[in-house]
C-alpha cells in the first residue's frame, strides 16, 4: 500500500473531512496543486474551485470550496474553507439562481464594502458553474 496523506477539510461550522488520502488536488490562488505525501511544507490561499481527492489512482470525491487557505506539510494537508459542498450536491438551477441573486446584489450595492462582497459572491457562483460544466 502506498503512503497516504492526512487530509482535513474544515469549515467554520464543522470538520467536514478528516481521512488519509493518496493525493489531493487543491485549487490554489496561483494555480491548482496536487499534494502528495512528502510534499514540501507550504501555505497557500485557495480560490473558489474544486478539490479532487484521489484514492488508488482515481478521483473518489470532488468537493467545491468557496475559497480559503491550505496548509501542506509532509504528512498532512489542511484546507480551511469558508464554504464547502460536495460537487454532487450542487444543482445547476440553484447555482444559476445564486448567480442572479449575486448580480442583483451588486446592482443594488452602493457602498464599497457591499460591492466587494457582491463581487465575491459572483465569483464564487461563477466558479460553481464552471465546476459543473
Partner 1 sequence: MASLKDLRARISSVKNTRKITSAMKMVAASKLRRAQEAAEAGRPYAERMERMLGNLAGSMVGQAGAPKLLAGTGKDAVHLLVVMTADRGLCGGFNTNVARNARNLIKDLQAAGKQVKVLCVGRKGRDLLKRDFASLILQTYEGLTRRGATFENADMVAQKVLSMFDAGEFDVCTVVYNKFQSAIAQVVTRQQLVPFPVPAVAANTNDAAGKALYEYEPSEEGILADLLPKNVSMQLFSALLEGDASEQGARMSAMDNATRNAGDMINKLTLVYNRTRQAAITKELIEIISGAEAL
Q: Which residues bind partner 1 (CB under 8 A)?
A: 8, 10-15, 28-30, 33, 40-45, 69, 71, 73, 78, 80, 82, 113, 117
Pairing of strands 76-81, 5-10: parallel
CB nearer partner 1, residue 85 or residue 132: 85
Q: 80 or 132, CB closer to partner 1?
A: 80
> 15 or 58, CB closer to partner 1?
15
Q: Name the grid cell of 39.
A: 510534499
Least distance (Å) between residue 12 CB and partner 1: 4
Least distance in angstroms from the C-beta of 124 to partner 1 = 14
Q: Where are the alpha helices (DSSP H) in the chain?
A: 92-108, 112-132
Using the minimum distance from each CB to partner 1, give the nearer residue, 43 or 130.
Answer: 43
Least distance (Å) from partner 1 to the CB of residue 56? 27
Residue 3's CB is within 10 A of a number of other CB atoms, namely: 10
**Cα-to-chain-centroid distance, residue 87:** 10
Minimum Å gap between C-beta 3 and partner 1 is 18
Measured CA to CA, the distance from residue 36 to residue 52 in angstroms comes to 12
Reference 52, options 27, 71, 77, 18; nearest CA is: 27
Amino acid at each position: 500500500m502506498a503512503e497516504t496523506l492526512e487530509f482535513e477539510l474544515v469549515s467554520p461550522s464543522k470538520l467536514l473531512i478528516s481521512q488519509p488520502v493518496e493525493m489531493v488536488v487543491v485549487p490554489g490562488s496561483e494555480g491548482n496543486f496536487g499534494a502528495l505525501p512528502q510534499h514540501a511544507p507550504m501555505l497557500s490561499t485557495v480560490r473558489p474551485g474544486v478539490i479532487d481527492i484521489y484514492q488508488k489512482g482515481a478521483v473518489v470525491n470532488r468537493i467545491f470550496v468557496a475559497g480559503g487557505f491550505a496548509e501542506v506539510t509532509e504528512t498532512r494537508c489542511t484546507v480551511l474553507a469558508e464554504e464547502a459542498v460536495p460537487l454532487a450536491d450542487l444543482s445547476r438551477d440553484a447555482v444559476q439562481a445564486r448567480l442572479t441573486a449575486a448580480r442583483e446584489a451588486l446592482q443594488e450595492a452602493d457602498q464599497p464594502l457591499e460591492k466587494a462582497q457582491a463581487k465575491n459572491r459572483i465569483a464564487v457562483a461563477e466558479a460553481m458553474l464552471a465546476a459543473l460544466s
